[in-house]
Chain A
Amino acid sequence: MADHAAVPEGHHGEDGHHESFWRKYIFSTDHKVIGIQYGITSLLFLLFGFSLVMLMRWQLAYPGQPVPLIGWLFSDDTMPGGIMLPEFYNQLGAMHGTIMVFLGIVPLAVGAFGNYVVPLQIGAPDMAFPKLNMASYWVFFVGGVIMLGSFFVPAGAAKAGWTSYAPLSVIESMGQTMWLISMVFLITSSLLGAVNFLTTIVQLRADGMGFMQMPFFVWAQFITSFLLLLAFPPLEAAAVLQLSDRLLDTSFFMPSGLVVSGEVVDVAGGGSPLLWQHLFWFLAHPEVYVLVLPAMGIVAEIIANNARKPLKGYKVLVYSLVFLGFMSFIVWAHHMFITGMGQVMSTFFQTTTMIISVPSVIILTALFLSLWGGSIRFTTPMLFALGFLPMFGIGGLTGLPLGLAATDIPLHDTYYVIGHFHYVVAPGTILALMGGIYYWFPKMTGRTMNDTLGKIHFWGTLVSMNFIFFPMLIQGLAGVSRRLYDGGQIYAHAQDVLVYNEVMSIAAWVLFVFQIPFIVNLLVSMKKGKAAADNHWNATTLEWSAAPSPPVGHGNFRDLPTVYRDPYEYSHPDHDEDYWPQDVPPAEASEN
């Protein structure tokens, strides 16, 4: 990207050679370039995953009618005459979930923001293992290519949902094999990333930066990396078992006497579909926190900076985060209340689920309280951060009935569930990630994004997202199941709420229209945005106060910083300016 061409001259002299284009931008070991690579790739995947669901929404709003404008682009195997086939609808649904979670949000939240910001915020010259970092990106990239490639194999991409429940997934077409192989790559990539982040945060903190002087964002990435490190391998194990079921005809997930299309499947049997669910959710529940914690970290940074006061209860926030990370490993079976796993199990998991809501509420409350008495600057990133708080609140509160077995059973597999987790991830996490882009863009490029376009983007996104996801809660309470090809038209109990299908679909397309100002803003501002100062937001953390914008190509800082104080010393009574950066020496020292 343009920003790295403008790197100060100093480091070229040090290295004594000029790096080739390939080493510098493609196979770079610089965490900033890798962060930007992750960022661009994952934004493209987010757009792609969103496009899939925009197609689905046509089918849901106008079932059986040909898709206008672009319908002719698709083959007869998918949309003959522009009318979507059920098989293709299932592919879109499975791939939307998979792409958004594993190829969109996680790489954007962890791969892009984590890579770019964490070493800068802790005052490190790079990640602890730069080559591993590069490998992590390219393994991720290969995984993404395989996932996209699965659309082009016979019978298309995976159709068994992003959860790939067995035994359906085992008897699926070839796309599912591609899905599993791709997941193995993606898991390996996050594993490499997680080892790297943890080592970097533990080992490369600047002088004077204890764990309790780390910005909250770094803490969020730290806990997230632990979740990635320990929760992903069981899914890798599960993927290996399912691959073996598919390719070696084993029966890990195949029960005895399974009948498909009127015939008993010819396998040894004796396996357990529930085993897949246990292994899958052992990953996928911590995964929810992988999606949410970095977003909370970003919001904390933006709120402290724009409220011009320290975060309320920094230590409590950190302890809550650690507790949340620990608890997330023992709540997974609340996704499985209707599997008949027994009352003792249900009781245990609904209890742990209620317990884990406590630290989440503490974090959200502390972030709200941080606003109290602040002189708030309503910058574009701040709007996104403020939008995150109530949206994530709705997402969290609608989750409580799903965490209790008695209320989960009627709501399970309805649109209520879809509404709930989309509130957490879409108006929650995605708003925070967008805010993060507006917040760190000046640091990455040395230029600012346009404020007016940013505000149009924010308000359009916030309003249209609510028109998409709130009606889902209503439909779900009326009992409309998820994964219905016709949106529920054939069900009597769905008739009263069918009208919302069109509302949600139109809102989804409007949401797309409101992303255009963002895309334009992002591309144009890279070259033509107003020049940004090194500390554009008058922030206290090291990436702003100690590094130039953009940071030095190799090594980030001209001199490695030393830390003297806590991360959010805004409006400190002993200091003249309303921000007191972590690396500014105390007054006595500087006078000498």
Chain B
Amino acid sequence: MQIPFTVAPRPDTGVNNAKLGVWLFLASEVMLFGGLFSAYIFLRIGAPEWPGMVGGHAYERASDILNVPLATLNTMVLIGSSVTMVMSWASLAMQRFDRYRLYMGATIALGFVFLVVKAFEYGEKFSHGYLPAENNFLAIYFVLTGLHGLHVIGGILVNMYFMWPGARMWKTDPKRFTNRIEIAGLYWHFVDLVWIFLFPTIYLL
């Protein structure tokens, strides 16, 4: 049994199954993060001061608590990884599997850099006793960035699969493999995009 339109797009819809599937999945992800962002707005509107009391000290700006330079660095890292992700897909489209390996490797490495920086940031907070239970600002900070971090980890796992075991498909079905990288890329760009909303919302506003 063969399921139609796994590789070639269906003529009247113009997409293949996986591409439609990933867009639908991303729509639900928008609703997930949308729910959390709404919670953020709801809590902030209801709060007398924001970010408020942390460690017995009243703060007026989120940037006084959080490490903006590190987060800026992380923003650059994620944007860079999105670029290398596109390059890895483009390399496959140009039949350059060696370059695909290079760019995919860079994407994975940048993903890890993001996580290491994030872990450093978390560690800094923990060492000051800034825990999620401290106040609602830190709570939403940890939940939102934590959930985003889980998405990054998920993306790295997917990319590592396509870097090594999944890459065997290049030999048997190159077109389908290229599609898979495109789809993994759509997810990776989404994770990047979430951060681009997260960064100003939590760190700067």
Seen from chain A, the residues whose Cβ lies within 8 Å of a Cβ on chain B are 11, 14, 124-126, 128-130, 191, 194-196, 198-199, 202-204, 229-238, 240-241, 244, 248-252, 267-268, 270-272, 275, 278-279, 282, 554-555
Q: How far is the CA of A420 from the CA of B147 in the complex (A)?
A: 38
Q: How far is the CA of A196 from the CA of B22 in the complex (A)?
A: 10
Residues on B with C-beta less than 8 A from A271 are: 43, 136
Can you name the residue of chain A whose Cβ is closest to the Cβ of B29?
Answer: A233
Residues on B with C-beta less than 8 A from A238 are: 35, 39
A229 touching B139, Cβ below 8 Å:
no
What are 28 A-B contacts with C-beta separation under 8 Å?
Answer: A124-B3, A124-B4, A125-B4, A126-B1, A128-B5, A128-B17, A130-B3, A191-B28, A194-B28, A195-B21, A204-B17, A229-B24, A229-B28, A229-B31, A233-B28, A238-B35, A240-B143, A240-B147, A244-B143, A248-B142, A249-B133, A250-B143, A268-B135, A270-B43, A270-B135, A271-B43, A272-B43, A272-B46
B28 touching A282, Cβ below 8 Å:
no
A252 touching B139, Cβ below 8 Å:
yes
Given A203-B17, A244-B139, A251-B136, answer yes or no on A237-B42 (Cβ-Cβ < 8 Å): no
A268 touching B17, Cβ below 8 Å:
no
Contacting A at CB under 8 A, from B22-66, are 24-25, 27-29, 31-36, 38-39, 42-43, 46-47, 52
Q: How far is the CA of A267 from the CA of B131 in the complex (A)?
A: 12
Cross-chain contact of B133 among A11, A126, A236, A250 (Cβ < 8 A) = A250
Q: 9 tightest A-B contacts by CB?
A: A234-B35, A237-B35, A250-B139, A233-B32, A249-B133, A233-B31, A555-B1, A554-B1, A128-B17
- Tell me the smallest distance from the CB of B27 to a CB of chain A, in Å: 6
Q: Is B20 interfacial (CB 8 A cutoff)?
A: yes
- Tell me the smallest distance from the CB of A329 to a CB of chain B, in Å: 10
Q: Is B121 interfacial (CB 8 A cutoff)?
A: no
Residues on A with C-beta less than 8 A from B131 are: 248
Q: How far is the CA of A247 from the CA of B198 in the complex (A)?
A: 24
Q: How far is the CA of A172 from the CA of B17 in the complex (A)?
A: 44
Given A204-B4, A234-B31, A252-B136, answer yes or no on A199-B20 (Cβ-Cβ < 8 Å): yes
Q: How far is the CA of A55 from the CA of B38 in the complex (A)?
A: 40
Q: Is B132 interfacial (CB 8 A cutoff)?
A: yes
Can you name the residue of chain B whose Cβ is closest to the Cβ of A279?
Answer: B35
B39 touching A241, Cβ below 8 Å:
yes
Looking at A202, A230, A278, A279, the one whose CB has the most chain B CB atoms below 10 A away is A202
Q: Is B127 interfacial (CB 8 A cutoff)?
A: no
Given A234-B35, A236-B32, answer yes or no on A195-B25 (Cβ-Cβ < 8 Å): yes
Cross-chain contact of A250 among B27, B35, B52, B136 (Cβ < 8 A) = B136
A204 touching B139, Cβ below 8 Å:
no
Q: Is B10 interfacial (CB 8 A cutoff)?
A: yes
Residues on A with C-beta less than 8 A from B34 are: 233-234
Residues on B with C-beta less than 8 A from A275 are: 39, 42-43
Residues on A with C-beta less than 8 A from B38 are: 234, 278-279
Q: Is B2 interfacial (CB 8 A cutoff)?
A: yes
Q: How far is the CA of A405 from the CA of B176 in the complex (A)?
A: 55
A268 touching B133, Cβ below 8 Å:
yes
A203 touching B31, Cβ below 8 Å:
no
Can you name the residue of chain B whose Cβ is closest to the Cβ of A132?
Answer: B21
Q: Is B124 interfacial (CB 8 A cutoff)?
A: no
Proximity string of chain B (80-95) to chain A, C-beta cutoff 8 Å, 1 when within and 0 when not: 0000000000000000
Q: How far is the CA of A248 from the CA of B33 in the complex (A)?
A: 20
Cross-chain contact of B39 among A130, A237, A249 (Cβ < 8 A) = A237
Q: How far is the CA of A194 from the CA of B32 in the complex (A)?
A: 15
Residues on B with C-beta less than 8 A from A233 are: 28-29, 31-32, 34-35
Residues on A with C-beta less than 8 A from B20 are: 198-199, 202-203
A204 touching B28, Cβ below 8 Å:
no
